[in-house]
Amino acid sequence: MEVFEIDADKLTPREVNSQIKTAAEEYDKIIIRNPNANHYLAAGVTEDVEIEFDGSVGYFGGCMCEGPKIKINGNAGWFVGDNLTGGEVIVEGTAGDGAGQGIYDGTVVVRESVGSRTGEIMKNGTIIIGGNSGFMTGIFMMGGRIIILGDVGDDVAESIIRGVVYVRGEIKSLGYNAKLEEMTFEDSLELEEILTKYEFDIDDISQFKKIVPESTRPFYGH
């Protein structure tokens, strides 16, 4: 595997991204040292390449990507993996609000807790949160799946149209058009498979609760 390293310490986000996109055409893996929690890093990458950040990133890390496998060895700010259309973004620490916002496909994994509005307006793909997720997780969700291993805040799946939210911990309250539904055997197999793939060790899958839309054509207003 050919590896290219970038020291981002004295570079602007634009300069870092330019180097990433150039290196992605030739190398299999790119390591970014000293990302210093800068915003918009690894935005818009479309190559099938591994990208590893040796530290934390700021807002919109790994946004609008198609294909790369991005690993962040630290924390991420708001909207990590925003509008992902393929590939994966894995955050080893925590993330802010809007993790996986608007994703069309691919996988966003945050191993610890996140802020609010996780998976807002997502269309497809998978989001896995290893800790807790804040209020309005899955708001306006149009497809895909969100898996929360910890607790979730108020109004989970608010105004959901399609998709499913799985919660292992406590659910503070359900949002409009969201309802609890019994887990099926197929649901359990699917959860076990994806969680094992991303190295989450869950003894009892039956602890998860399943949240789905009450209607795919909800009525709003009076």
Query: What is the domain-level CATH number for residue 154?
Result: 2.160.20.60
Residues 92, 153: one domain? no
Together in a domain, 222 and 118: yes
Q: Please state whether the predicted TM-score (pTM) of the whole model is above 0.95.
A: yes
Number of independent structural domains in the chain? 2
Structural domain range at position 84: 1-108
Same domain, 70 and 123: no
Residues 102 and 176 in one domain: no
Per-residue pLDDT of the chain (222 residues; tens, 9 = 90+): 899 999 999 999 999 999 999 999 999 999 999 999 999 999 999 999 999 999 999 999 999 999 999 999 999 999 999 999 999 999 999 999 999 999 999 999 999 999 999 999 999 999 999 999 999 999 999 999 999 999 999 999 999 999 999 999 999 999 999 999 999 999 999 999 999 999 999 888 999 999 999 998 887 665
**Whether residues 134 and 59 fall in one domain:** no
Q: Which of 86, 108, 130 is the last residue of a domain?
A: 108
Pairing relation of β-strands 178-181 and 162-167? unpaired
CA-based nearest residue to 50, from 23, 75, 84? 23
Edge-first strand order for the sheet with 50-54 is 3-7, 29-33, 50-54, 66-72, 86-91, 107-110, 126-129, 142-148, 162-167, 209-213, 178-181
Q: What is the pLDDT of residue 1?
A: 80
- The DSSP symbol for 207 reads G
